[in-house]
Structure 1
Amino acid sequence: MRIRLVVTDLDGTLLRDDLSVSPRTRAALDGVRKAGVRVVPVTARQPIGVRHIAEDAGFEDWAICSNGSLGVHLGTGEQLWETHLAVQAQQALVKALVTAVPGVLCASVRDGGDKFVAQEGYSSIATYDDHKRDVTTMGNHPVADVLAEPSLKLILRHPEIGAEDLRLRLDELGLGGFSVTSSGAPFLEVMSEGITKAWGVARLCSLLGIEPREVMAFGDALNDVEMLTWAGRGVAVANAHPGTRAVADEVTASNMDDGVAQALELLVEQQGH
C-alpha cells in the first residue's frame, strides 16, 4: 500500500533542538510533496507556534494542533474542528488535583489557540519555549477566571514537581471526563475526553478519504504514542521516549541527525519516485 499522507510531530522530531528545520529536512519534505504525498504537522503547539516554522518547512496545508483538539488550514485559516474541555470537567479536575497536590498552577488555551489565560504565578515559571509565546502576554488571572470558559487545552504545572510525577499523582485520583498527556515539556496537557493526536489524524483522514494504512507518522514523545500506533507505518526518532519507541514499527535516526529526512528519502525511493 502506497503512503498518501505523512503526519509528523515537530518539537524533538522534525525540528532540531534549536527549533530549526535543517536543509536536508526541507529538501526531504519538498521531495515527498513533489511525489504527491501530503505532509501535515501534528503538534501540541497552537497555530501561532506552527506558523513560526511553516515557511521553513514549506507547510501550507492542514495542521493538527493542540494534541488533536484543533484542525486548521495554515494558508486560509479555515477550521475543520475545534474541540473543547468542558468547564465542569476542568473545574472538577483542578479542584481535586490542587487538594491532593497544593501549588499546582493552570492555564487555559482558547479561541482557536490564539488566547492563553494563565493563573497568577504561572508566567513566572514559564519560558517562551514552553508555549512558543511571550510570557508577558499570558496574563495573571485568578484560577476561577482561568477555568470559567472551555479550553482547547488545559495546562497543569507545578513549580517543583515534574510532569511525569504530576501525572502519577493525577492518575491516583481516578478521575474521568478528560484526556491527559505530555509532550516532554514540564507540564501536563489536558484535552476533552477521547482527544489525542490519533483522533485528530483519523478525523482529517476521513475528510480526505485516506485510510490508516496509507499514513506514515513520526513522533518522539508520549503524546505521539496513539498516533504512531494508529498509522499504518509509525516511525519513532532515536531520541524518542522509550514508551514511544516501543510502539513504533521502526526507529529512524534522531532529530539532530535528520531522522525524519532519512526516512522520507527512503519512502520516495520505495514508492518509485
Structure 2
Amino acid sequence: MSYKIVFFDIDGTLVDDRKQIPPGTVQAIRELQSRGVEAVIATGRAPYFFAPLLETLGIDSYVSLNGAYVVYKGEPVFSREIPQASVKAFVSHAARHRHSLVFESHSAFYTNNDSDPLMLESVTSLRVDLPGYDPEFWQKQPIYQMFLHCESAEEPLYERAVPGLKMIRWHEKAMDVMPDDRSKAQGIEALLAHVGVSPEAAVAFGDGLNDKEMLALVGLGIAMGNAHEELKPYADYITTHVEEDGIGNGLRYAGLID
C-alpha cells in the first residue's frame, strides 16, 4: 500500500513525558514531508495548546479536540460543538458534586474554579498556560470539549448523568467530556473526505485510550511502545517507545522513510 497521509497524536507519541519532541522524531517527520506525504496532528488537545509544535514540525493541518475541530492547510473544514443544552445539564450535575470544569472553544479555554487543586495539577501537566476564569464562558462561545476534574473513584457519579455525553480519562485527576459519538476518527474521516483520500491510504500513530477508533479506521494503525495496554489490540503494529525513535521506526515499518 502506498500511504499518502499520516496522523500523529501528540502526548506520548510526538512528545515524551517532559513534553519535548525527541530529535529523531523531528528528523523522521521532515523526511516524511520531503517525500510528499502529508503529516497531520490528531489530538485531544485544543489548537492553542499545540501551536508551537505545529511551527517546529512545519505542519499546518490538524484534527483537534478529539475530532471536533478540523483544519486543513490553515483553513477550518469541519467542526461539531457540544449541544448547549447538554453543556448546561453537565454543568449543573458537576456543581452538585462540587467538581470543577474547564470549557474549551476552538480559540480559548476557561474554568469555573481557578483554585481547584485537581484542575491546577492536571492542566499544569500539559505544560500550557492555565485557563482564565469565567463560569459563564460556555454560554458565550461554542464548546467543543470540557475537562471534568475528579478522582477515578468518583467516575460512577457521572455514568449516564447526561445522555449523549461520554468521558475519557487522560490524567488521574481529569477526564475529557464530549459527545458519545465523538472520536478522533470522526474528524479524520472529515479531513480525508475533504482531500479525497481513502482511510486505507492513511497511517495513524497513537498511545492513549482516545486513539482506539483512529487506529481502527486507517489502513495502518501504529501504537507506540509506551501505549496504554488497552490500545495495543487496536493496532496493526506496535513500534518502539516514544524516546526510542518510536515515530521513526514506525514510519520505516510503513515504508515511508529509510
Alignment TM-score, normalising by the size of structure 1: 0.84
8 A contact 2:251–2:257 mirrored in 1: no
Alpha-carbon shift at residue 192 of structure 1 (Å): 3.4
Uncovered stretches (5+) of structure 2, i.e. residues with no partner: none
Q: What is aligned with 2:110?
A: 117
Alpha-carbon shift at residue 93 of structure 1 (Å): 2.4
Q: What is aligned with 1:62?
A: 61
8 A contact 2:7–2:42 mirrored in 1: yes
8 A contact 1:45–1:131 mirrored in 2: no
Q: What is aligned with 1:71?
A: 70
Alpha-carbon shift at residue 155 of structure 1 (Å): 1.2
Q: What is aligned with 1:39?
A: 39
Q: How does 1:98-177 map to 2 (within 5 A)?
A: 98-99=95-96, 102-110=97-105, 112=106, 114-121=107-114, 124=117, 125-127=119-121, 129-135=124-130, 138-142=131-135, 145-149=136-140, 150-158=142-150, 161-162=151-152, 165-171=153-159, 173=160, 175-177=162-164
Call closer, same or farther: CA 1:52–1:271 in 2, change over 3 Å: closer
Secondary structure (helix, strand or coil) at the match of 2:170 reads coil
Q: What is aligned with 1:256?
A: 243
Q: What is aligned with 2:82?
A: 85
CA distance in 2, matches of 1:116, 1:24: 32
Alpha-carbon shift at residue 122 of structure 1 (Å): 5.0
**Quick one: which amino acid aligns to residue 32 of structure 1?**
L
Call closer, same or farther: CA 1:185–1:52 in 2, change over 3 Å: farther
Call closer, same or farther: CA 1:200–1:97 in 2, change over 3 Å: same
Call closer, same or farther: CA 1:79–1:122 in 2, change over 3 Å: farther
8 A contact 2:78–2:190 mirrored in 1: no
The runs of at least 4 consecutive aligned structure 1 residues that moved more than 4 Å come to: none
Call closer, same or farther: CA 1:18–1:63 in 2, change over 3 Å: same
**Quick one: which amino acid aligns to residue 80 of structure 2?**
T
Q: What is aligned with 2:170?
A: 183
Q: How does 1:13-32 map to 2 (within 5 A)?
A: 13-32=13-32
Alpha-carbon shift at residue 33 of structure 1 (Å): 1.5
Call closer, same or farther: CA 1:66–1:265 in 2, change over 3 Å: same
8 A contact 2:70–2:187 mirrored in 1: yes
CA distance in 2, matches of 1:93, 1:272: 46
* Aligned residues with identical type, % of pairs: 25
CA distance in 2, matches of 1:210, 1:227: 15
Q: What is aligned with 1:50?
A: 50
Uncovered stretches (5+) of structure 1, i.e. residues with no partner: none
Call closer, same or farther: CA 1:115–1:248 in 2, change over 3 Å: same
CA distance in 2, matches of 1:83, 1:131: 24
User: Which has the larger share of helix?
Assistant: 1
Q: What is aligned with 1:243?
A: 230
Give the length in aligned residue pairs. 255
Q: What is aligned with 1:221?
A: 208
Which of 46-55 and 178-187 deviates more? 178-187
Alpha-carbon shift at residue 126 of structure 1 (Å): 1.4
Q: What is aligned with 2:196?
A: 209
**Alpha-carbon displacement from aligned partner over 1:69-125 (angstroms, at most 9, x marks no partner):** 11124x64x2112221111111222333444xx221111112x2x211201245654
CA distance in 2, matches of 1:5, 1:157: 35
CA distance in 2, matches of 1:175, 1:261: 42
